[in-house]
Amino acid sequence: MAVKGLLKALSSNAGSQSETSAAKATAVPGQARRADILDDFEQAGISWFWATDADDRIIYLTEKAAENLGRPVSDLISEKFTAFFENDPDNPDEKSDRPLKYQIRKRSKISDLVVRQVSLTMRPGDEQKWWLITAHPKFDEAGNFQGYRGNAKDVSAEYKRKLEDSRLAEFDSLTGLANRHRMDNQLKSLLGAFKAASRSCAIMMLDLDRFKQVNDTMGHPAGDELLKQAARRMRDVIGDRGEIGRLGGDEFQVILPDLDDRGKLGEIAEKIVKLISQPYDIEDKKAIIGTSIGIAVAPYDGVDREELIRSSDLALYAAKNSGRGQFRFYSADLKDEAEERRLLVEDLREALANDQLELHYQPVVRTDDHMIVGFEGLMRWDHPERGFVSPGVFIPIAEELNLINQLGEWALRKACEDALQWPQSVRIAVNVSAVQFASNGFPEIVMNALANSGLAPERLELELTESVFMGDSETIDTTFRILKELGVRLALDDFGTGYSSLSYLRSAPFDKIKVDKSFVDSCTQKDQNSEKIIAAIVSLSEALGMETTVEGVEAFDQFDVVCSKGARFIQGWIYSKALRLEEISEKMGAGEFKIEPDGPELYRPDRRKVFRRIGAIHEDHRYEVVMRDLSRTGAQFEGMIGVPVGTNLVLDLGAGQLVICTVVRSEDAVVGTKFETPLVSDGAGGLCTRHRVSPYDLAAAGMPLAALPEGNYPLAQVSTAPASKPRFMQVAI
C-alpha cells in the first residue's frame, strides 16, 4: 500500500536516499494495520501525507497527493516542497506575516497553515487551489535536522467560500469598492505605520451632487446603475495609486498613501470632478450629476483617523457650500460648515420672505458697433452681515429646500418688469435651473410673467444648461414645444463643457449658444486649443442658424482673439460688470444703449488682489509684512525698506506654507518677489503651496526661534545662537 512507503520513510534516515535492507523489510502486522488505516484515511479525502529531506526536497508523497497536484509521483520526488506553495496575502484568517519558506527555513512547527498552490505548477485552465498544511520538523538522536513530516488537505471549496464571505464583509456589493469597515481599518493601520516612519497620507471625501434628484425622478434601479458607473469612473482616475471606498449612499472616500503634493492632489480631484460630471446613459435617458471633494493630508491636517476624517469632512462641506462641483483643501480657518450651512439656510428663507435678493444685469454687446442687444439677469444677495453671497452657494441650497421654484418665479417676473424700461430692441435673459425647468407648472409661470408685465415674448430669453435634459424626455419635449409656441427664445449655456452637447442641439430648439468662460480664459495661451474650439463653436452656430455669445471676455488680447474667430456678441467685463437697474438708467439715460470696450491689454488669470499679513524671513529674522498681490509665480508686499533686488527671502504664508523667493522689484516699502516653485490652486479660487513644512521640523533644523511663527517649540531643538543684526527696516502698515 502507498502509506507503507511513508512508514518506511518515517522510520528511515531521511538524509540517505538509498534503500537499505531494513527499509525493504516486511512490515510487522501492527504496521500493516496502521498502513491500511492511513490509506483508507487518505483515499477518503480526509488528508494526504508528505515528507522532505533536510534540503526541502520531497522524499515521499502519496499517490493521492500527486493526483491532486496533477503530476505523477516520479516527477515530484526530489523537487523542492516550497516550490509548489506560497502564502495567500488575501487569507482572511492568517494573522502571521511569516511566509511558508521562512517557517521551513527556521525549522518551525507548522500548524493548520493555508497556502496557495503556485500557478506555475498548475496546468492551463486549472482552477486555483488552496491547501491546509500541518508539519513537524524531524531530528535524529544527535539533533541533526532530517526534514519535515507532514500532512495536507485540499480546502479549496471551503476557502473560496471564506474568501467570498470576507469579501462581502469588506466590499460594497453594488459597486465592488471597499466598504466603510474596510476603509476605516485601512486608514487606521496606514496612519499608525506612517506616523512612526514620518510618511504622509492623503484622503479625499466625496459625495455626489444631484444624485437624490436622479434617484427620485428615474427610480432606484437607475440610481444604482449611476453609482456603479460613477465608481468605474473613479477607478479610471485613481488606478493603483490608492483605494476607493463607498461609505454608504452617495458618499465615497479615497485613500492615497505617500502623497502630500497639493498640486498633484488638486489635479486628481479636478479629473474626478470633470469625469463624474459628464452625462450618464441610463435606460435610454441622460443623467447628469456632479461631485464635491474635500481633501486632508496627514500629518498636517490630522495624525489619527478621526482627526483626518473630520478635517476632510470640513473641507467637503466647504466645497459644497462654495458652489459644488469643486474640491477644497482643509485649512485651519475652516469653520464648522454644517453649522454655517444651517445658519445660511435660515438667512435664505428670511431673505426670500423680506425681498432682500436683487437682480443685476450684465450687458450682451454686439461687437460690430458696440450696441447693447440684451442683458442677462443675475441674482445677487448682499447679506447684511456676511456681505456678498455667491449664487453658486445659495442656488443649490434653494434647490435642496424646494425654494428654487419660488426663487425662479420671482426672478422671471422681476426681469420681465425691469426690461420694459429698455428699448424694444434689447432682450432680457434669465437663467432657469434644471429643477425649475422640470416642474409641471413652469410653462405657466413663463406665460404669467409675460402677461403680467406686458413684455413681448421674443424679448425674453431663457438660459438652460445640459442638466435640464436629465429628467423625463417626454416632459422635456412638451415643455420645449410650449415655450417655442409662446415665442420665447432659448439659449444653451456653458456650451462645450459636456460630452453630449451636440445631441442636445439636434433635439432641442435653441436660438443661441453661449461659449463657456473657461475657453476664453485660455484662448490666448498658445499651448491650448481653446482658440480653435471657439472658432468651431461659432461656425457650428452659424451652420445651425443660431447666434453665439462669448462669455467672460475681460482683456483686449482675448477680445481680439474671439473677434478674429467670428464672435459677434460678447458678454464680459471688457464691456461691463453686472449693473443694478438704476445704474443702467443713469449710464444710458435716454440715449443709445452703447458701450465702448475698456479693460487691460493682457489677461492675467492668476493675479489676485489680497490684503493679508504674512511673514518675510531673511537670515535669522522674521519681518511682519502685508501682502497686496499674489499670483502663482510671485507676490508683492509692503512693510520692508532697503531690500535690494536679488535678495533671497522665505515667505511664510501660514499653516506651514513656506515659499522661497527672490526680490525682483523694491521701491520704498513695496517689495515684489518671484517664487522658486509656483503655487497651485487650493480649489476655492485661491492659491497654496504644493508642500507644507511643520514649524517643529524648522525648529529641529536649527532655525532660530525669533524667525519662527508664534507657537510653543521644544527648546532643546531650537538654535540658541545669538541673532544677527537685522539688515532691513520694518515699517508698520
pLDDT digits (tens, 9 = 90+) for 122-156: 767 678 888 889 999 999 999 999 999 998 888 88
350, part of any domain = no
Contact call for residues 463 and 362 (beta carbons, < 8 A): no
pLDDT at 608: 73
DSSP state of 180: H
* Overall average pLDDT of the 605-630 stretch: 85
The CATH number of whichever domain residue 63 belongs to comes to 3.30.450.20
Q: Which three cell numbers stand for residue 101?
A: 519558506
Of the candidates 384, 514, 363, the residue with the CA atom closest to the CA atom of residue 426: 363
In one-letter notation, the amino acid at residue 262 is R
341, part of any domain = no
247, part of any domain = yes
In the listed set 120, 135, 162, which residue is the last one of a domain according to the structure? 162
* Overall average pLDDT of the 505-518 stretch: 85
Chain segment 621-670, per-residue pLDDT in tens: 889 999 999 988 999 999 999 999 999 999 988 877 889 999 999 999 99
Please check whether residues 722 and 579 belong to one and the same domain: no
Please check whether residues 581 and 620 belong to one and the same domain: no
Please check whether residues 89 and 191 belong to one and the same domain: no
- Print the domain residue range for 439: 356-588
* Overall average pLDDT of the 605-634 stretch: 86
CA torsion through residues 454, 457, 460, 466, sign: positive
Cross-strand partners of 388: 382
Q: Is the confidence at residue 416, as pLDDT, over 90? A: yes
Q: What angle do CA 556, 558, 564 make, to 5 degrees?
A: 100
* Distance of alpha carbon 213 from alpha carbon 203, whole angstroms: 27
Treating both helix axes as pointing N-terminal to C-terminal, what angle do 180-197 and 305-321 enclose, rounded to 10 degrees?
110
pLDDT at 92: 60
In the listed set 162, 189, 215, which residue is the last one of a domain according to the structure? 162
Please check whether residues 155 and 222 belong to one and the same domain: no
* Overall average pLDDT of the 269-289 stretch: 88
* Overall average pLDDT of the 300-312 stretch: 89
pLDDT band at 550 (very low <50, low <70, confident <90, very high): very high
pLDDT at 656: 78
594, part of any domain = no
Chain segment 436-452, per-residue pLDDT in tens: 888 888 999 999 999 99
* Overall average pLDDT of the 693-706 stretch: 56
Contact call for residues 571 and 356 (beta carbons, < 8 A): no
Question: Which of 26-35, 466-475, 536-545 is the least confident region?
Answer: 26-35
Please check whether residues 557 and 651 belong to one and the same domain: no
Altogether, the residues listed in the chain come to a count of: 733
The pTM for the full model equals 0.61
Of the candidates 508, 449, 506, the residue with the CA atom closest to the CA atom of residue 480: 508
In the listed set 129, 162, 195, which residue is the last one of a domain according to the structure? 162
pLDDT band at 430 (very low <50, low <70, confident <90, very high): very high
The CATH number of whichever domain residue 470 belongs to comes to 3.20.20.450
Q: Which three cell numbers stand for residue 37?
A: 488505516
178, part of any domain = yes
Cross-strand partners of 135: 110, 150
295-304, 382-391, 434-443, 555-564, range with greatest mean pLDDT: 555-564
596, part of any domain = no
Q: Name the E strands within 283-431.
A: 285-287, 290-298, 327-329, 357-366, 372-383, 387-389, 427-431
Please check whether residues 158 and 175 belong to one and the same domain: no
Please check whether residues 465 and 511 belong to one and the same domain: yes
* Distance of alpha carbon 404 from alpha carbon 436, whole angstroms: 6
pLDDT band at 12 (very low <50, low <70, confident <90, very high): very low
613, part of any domain = yes
In percent, the amount of the chain with pLDDT more than 90 equals: 40
Q: Is 17 left (phi over 0), alpha (psi -120 to 50) or beta?
A: alpha
Please check whether residues 241 and 378 belong to one and the same domain: no
Cα–chain center distance at 305: 19
* Overall domain count for the chain: 4
The CATH number of whichever domain residue 686 belongs to comes to 2.40.10
Please check whether residues 299 and 371 belong to one and the same domain: no
Cross-strand partners of 202: 256, 297
pLDDT at 317: 86
pLDDT at 183: 93
* Distance of alpha carbon 203 from alpha carbon 308, whole angstroms: 8
Q: Which three cell numbers stand for residue 524?
A: 490666448
Residue pointed to by grid coordinates 520513510: 9
Please check whether residues 181 and 253 belong to one and the same domain: yes
Please check whether residues 688 and 714 belong to one and the same domain: yes
Q: Which residues contact 213 (CB under 8 A, 6 or more apart)?
A: 434, 435, 470
In one-letter notation, the amino acid at residue 127 is E
pLDDT at 22: 38
Question: Which of 35-39, 56-60, 409-413 is the least confident region?
Answer: 35-39
Chain segment 256-266, per-residue pLDDT in tens: 999 999 999 99
Please check whether residues 320 and 207 belong to one and the same domain: yes
Specify the higher pLDDT residue, 329 or 331: 329
- HEC sequence for 165-200: HHHHHHECCCCCCECHHHHHHHHHHHHHHHHHHCCC
Q: Which residues contact 141 (CB under 8 A, 6 or more apart)?
A: none
219, part of any domain = yes
